[in-house]
């Protein structure tokens, strides 16, 4: 089993407790004795208990098998979502496969192996981009955004779900602007996004209460800019090893200012990055609006990644109770976009070659990726036998931690209230589901009448 940092001090224990509660048909509103005085495990969010994907796998499979299957399931989701998106923008099957593998093997996805909630939520992002493209020709796909947002939130990482939503909104707006479409679609799209987060209220309402009562609620606002991406870090697109490597949870051996290696790992590897520059020819010739949109999206989100290094981003210091940090996590969007552009560049180069040469180049580039990964990650992954992991936890050799430690000095802290927050969220979620379903039926009926 993979064994490192947050994976062993947080995620494995959380997933284990979640699997036990699921198999006993109970909900961990508050687990007595956890972290000493007890803890609202469901409100933690990153446990993934309300995710249909996580819950199904953790319920039906033995725990250590389930953890492996979770990684494999979300890897497949990321691959398929990217592939479908690339096919909708008319990229060939081979190039779409190439771009999907580039995204799946990117630094953003691989180096975070010990932060599964970030990986799992991010893996669903390509499906959102695919749904936007499909919605342009069939409005019924628009309504799939609400359950997609729910899946992203409950997969475990609200920040990545919010980053995804901001990308969906901007990508949709750019599509409407360049295609000169009606703004009505965009307004409907925004409403569906909002309904998606309301659908997730069953998770968000108790999680918000936990944030307000945790010690994180009193953080210094400057922490919001931790793990900002230094602009000079762009060189790692060409040279992934430029600033060294730090082990999971350890910044000491990382030579670049700004944070841990895994937070700032933006590489899609050297040859794919070179391929991602080739579509600039389309921009110069103004032949392909999608390429223009993708480059625009990359530029905007790389500026977000710069966090405190880019002064306009400091506006978040004015937002009360802003719960997020690590601006470099916007790399989800730039990594996906760069991977898509790499697929387009690959196709541009390969279009006049024979099938055999295309396959040869395909496998050659993949080999170069694996070779660079071997050089960069050769000491990065930590593996342990499951029995050793169990022993470490039972004998308390590893301390159980949480990013949202409760402040038991807060007079508003009431263990029983987390169950009430869950039911409040459930009511909001059910009303949201009813609204989405009713709206979908009306839109479908209107379309059928128009066709007749």
Query: How many residues in the chain?
Result: 452
Map tokens 């870090």 to a residue: 233
210 contacts: CB under 8 Å, gap ≥ 6: 40, 43, 44, 45, 404, 406, 418
What pLDDT is stored for residue 395 in this prediction?
Answer: 65
Q: How far apart are CA 215 and CA 409, in angstroms?
A: 10
Distance from the Cα of residue 70 to its chain's centroid: 15
What pLDDT is stored for residue 22 in this prediction?
Answer: 95
Map tokens 């599964």 to a residue: 116
Residue 261: closest CA among 291, 220, 229, 216: 229
Structural domain range at position 38: 5-451
What pLDDT is stored for residue 254 in this prediction?
Answer: 58
Q: Contact 52/152 with Cβ under 8 angstroms?
A: no
Q: How far apart are CA 53 and CA 76, in angstroms?
A: 12
- Residue 71 token pair: 């990684």
Q: How far apart are CA 224 and CA 14, in angstroms?
A: 26
Question: Radius of gyration over alpha carbons of the chain, in Å?
Answer: 22
Crossing angle for the helix pair 158-179 and 183-199, to the nearest 10 degrees: 170
Q: How far apart are CA 155 and CA 275, in angstroms?
A: 32
What pLDDT is stored for residue 392 in this prediction?
Answer: 66
Q: What is this structure's pTM?
A: 0.93
What pLDDT is stored for residue 183 in this prediction?
Answer: 86
Phi, psi of 257, rounded to the nearest 5 degrees: -70, 140
What total of structural domains would you count in the chain?
1
Q: How far apart are CA 80 and CA 78, in angstroms?
A: 6
pLDDT digits (tens, 9 = 90+) for 407-436: 777 777 887 889 999 999 999 999 999 999
Q: Contact 203/154 with Cβ under 8 angstroms?
A: yes
Residue 49's SS3 state is coil
DSSP 8: I
Q: How far apart are CA 374 and CA 366, in angstroms?
A: 12
The separation between the first and the last C-alpha atoms of the chain, rounded to the nearest angstrom, is 58
Half-sphere exposure of residue 426, counting CA atoms within 13 Å on the CB side? 7
Q: Contact 3/394 with Cβ under 8 angstroms?
A: no
Beta bridge partners of 73: none
What pLDDT is stored for residue 398 in this prediction?
Answer: 64
- Residue 280 token pair: 């600039």
Q: How far apart are CA 135 and CA 189, in angstroms?
A: 9
Low-confidence stretches of the chain (pLDDT beneath 50): 257
Residue 376: closest CA among 236, 213, 209, 251: 236
What pLDDT is stored for residue 257 in this prediction?
Answer: 47
Residue 85: closest CA among 41, 165, 141, 34: 141
Residue 233: closest CA among 253, 251, 250, 257: 257
Residue 244's SS3 state is coil
Q: How far apart are CA 107 and CA 229, in angstroms?
A: 14
Burial of 337 (0-12, 13-18, 19+ CB in 10 A): buried
């Amino acid at each position: 089993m993979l064994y490192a940092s947050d994976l062993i001090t947080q995620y494995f224990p959380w997933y284990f407790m979640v699997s036990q509660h699921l198999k006993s048909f109970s909900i961990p509103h508050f687990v007595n004795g956890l972290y000493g005085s007890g803890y609202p495990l469901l409100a933690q969010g990153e446990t993934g208990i309300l995710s249909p994907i996580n819950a199904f796998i953790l319920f039906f499979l033995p725990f250590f098998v389930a953890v492996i299957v979770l990684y494999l399931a979300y890897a497949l989701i990321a691959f398929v979502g990217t592939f479908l998106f690339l096919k909708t923008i008319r990229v060939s099957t081979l190039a779409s496969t190439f771009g999907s593998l580039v995204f799946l093997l990117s630094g953003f996805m691989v180096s975070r192996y010990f932060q599964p909630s970030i990986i799992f939520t991010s893996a669903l992002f390509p499906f959102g981009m695919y749904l936007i493209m499909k919605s342009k020709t069939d409005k019924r796909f628009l309504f799939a955004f609400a359950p997609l947002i729910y899946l992203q939130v409950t997969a475990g990482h609200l920040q990545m779900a919010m980053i995804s939503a901001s990308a969906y909104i901007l990508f949709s707006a750019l599509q409407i602007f360049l295609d000169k479409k009606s703004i009505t679609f965009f307004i409907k799209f925004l409403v569906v996004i909002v309904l998606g987060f309301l659908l997730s209220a069953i998770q968000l309402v108790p999680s918000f209460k936990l944030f307000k009562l945790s010690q994180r609620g009193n953080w210094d606002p400057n922490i919001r800019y931790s793990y900002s991406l230094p602009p000079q870090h762009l060189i790692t697109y060409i040279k992934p090893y430029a600033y060294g490597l730090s082990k999971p949870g350890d910044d000491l051996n990382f030579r670049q200012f700004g944070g841990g290696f895994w937070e700032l790992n933006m590489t899609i590897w050297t040859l794919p990055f070179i391929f991602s520059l080739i579509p600039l020819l389309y921009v110069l010739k103004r032949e392909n609006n999608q390429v223009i949109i993708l480059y625009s999206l990359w530029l905007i989100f790389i500026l977000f990644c710069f966090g405190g290094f880019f002064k306009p981003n400091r506006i978040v210091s004015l937002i009360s109770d802003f719960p997020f940090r690590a601006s470099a996590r916007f790399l989800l969007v730039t990594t996906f976009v760069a991977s898509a552009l790499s697929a387009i560049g690959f196709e541009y180069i390969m279009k006049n070659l024979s099938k055999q040469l295309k396959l040869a180049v395909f496998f050659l580039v993949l080999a170069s990726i694996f070779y660079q990964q071997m050089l960069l990650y050769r000491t990065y992954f930590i593996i342990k036998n499951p029995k050793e992991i169990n022993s470490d936890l039972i004998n308390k050799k590893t301390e159980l931690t949480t990013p949202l430690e409760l402040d038991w000095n807060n007079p508003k802290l009431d263990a029983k209230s987390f169950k009430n927050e869950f039911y409040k969220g459930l009511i909001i979620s059910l009303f949201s589901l009813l609204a989405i379903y009713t709206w979908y039926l009306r839109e479908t009926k209107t379309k059928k009448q128009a066709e007749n």
